[in-house]
């Protein structure tokens, strides 16, 4: 039986080294690559075609939820297991909506990581047992699209519509429309509130 091929993504070398040791202690798992940021993660996911990506949520320059969307758009068959320091339901929901297959807290991973990787590969949503199983919120805000999350990332970084347009290859008018749609979707009326909301709810990483 072929080994499960894992790509590790975390911006801390020592953390990746620890995860690699944990995973490769299991004879069924092979770590085929390591990435330190979201751009490298996408590049390696395309080149190495792993079975599963073990992905840190607080990833530069874009967070794990947006990176998950990018990887799955390019490699729909890949499974993604999110590792995070955050136990808030909004972070778990962001990961689910992005298409991740599991969400584990980063502390006390010793015995859980290998089991979670195998559960995810069996097609089951895998959630850290310490997290509250939250019921779907019927009054939840509309889920932002991948493009809206990209624009939001740049807004939180303090960029103007013109700067965002240049970075994303859009017109300034299109960016203004996205900005308005994001605020409408989240029920927010100014940029300062938007930045606070986005950071507090894990929609973006802190610049």
Task: Give me the CATH code for the 4-127 domain, please.
Answer: 3.40.50.2300
pLDDT at site 62:
86
Does residue 12 carry a pLDDT above 90? yes
pLDDT at site 68:
96
- Of 125, 115, 128, whose CA–CA distance to 88 is shortest? 128
Q: What is the pTM of this model?
A: 0.78
Q: Is 56 helix (H, G, I), strand (E, B) or coil?
A: strand
Band of pLDDT at residue 61, cut at 50, 70 and 90: confident
Domain boundaries, the chain: 4-127, 146-200
Strands (DSSP E) found in the chain: 4-9, 29-35, 52-56, 79-84, 102-105, 126-127
> Quick one: CATH architecture of 146-200?
Orthogonal Bundle (1.10)
pLDDT at site 205:
74
Q: How far apart are CA 203 and CA 197, in angstroms?
A: 8
């Amino acid at each position: 039986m072929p080994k499960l091929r894992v790509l590790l993504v975390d911006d801390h070398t020592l953390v990746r080294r620890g995860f690699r040791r944990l995973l490769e202690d299991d004879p069924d798992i092979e770590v085929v690559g390591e990435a330190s940021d979201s751009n490298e993660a996408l590049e390696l996911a395309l080149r190495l075609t792993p079975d599963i990506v073990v992905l840190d949520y607080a990833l530069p320059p874009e967070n794990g939820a947006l990176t998950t969307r990018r990887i799955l758009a390019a490699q729909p068959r890949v499974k993604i297991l999110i590792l995070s320091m955050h136990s808030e339901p909004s972070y778990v929901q962001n990961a689910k909506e992005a298409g991740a297959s599991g969400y584990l807290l980063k502390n006390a991973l010793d015995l859980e990581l290998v089991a979670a990787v195998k559960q995810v590969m069996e097609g089951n949503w895998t959630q850290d047992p310490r997290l509250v199983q939250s019921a779907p919120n019927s009054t939840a805000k509309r889920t932002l699209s991948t493009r809206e999350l990209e624009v939001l990332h740049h807004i939180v970084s303090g960029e103007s519509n013109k700067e965002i347009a240049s970075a994303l290859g859009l017109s300034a008018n299109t960016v203004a429309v996205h900005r308005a749609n994001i605020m409408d979707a989240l029920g927010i009326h100014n940029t300062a509130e938007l930045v606070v909301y986005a950071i507090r709810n894990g929609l973006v990483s802190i610049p």
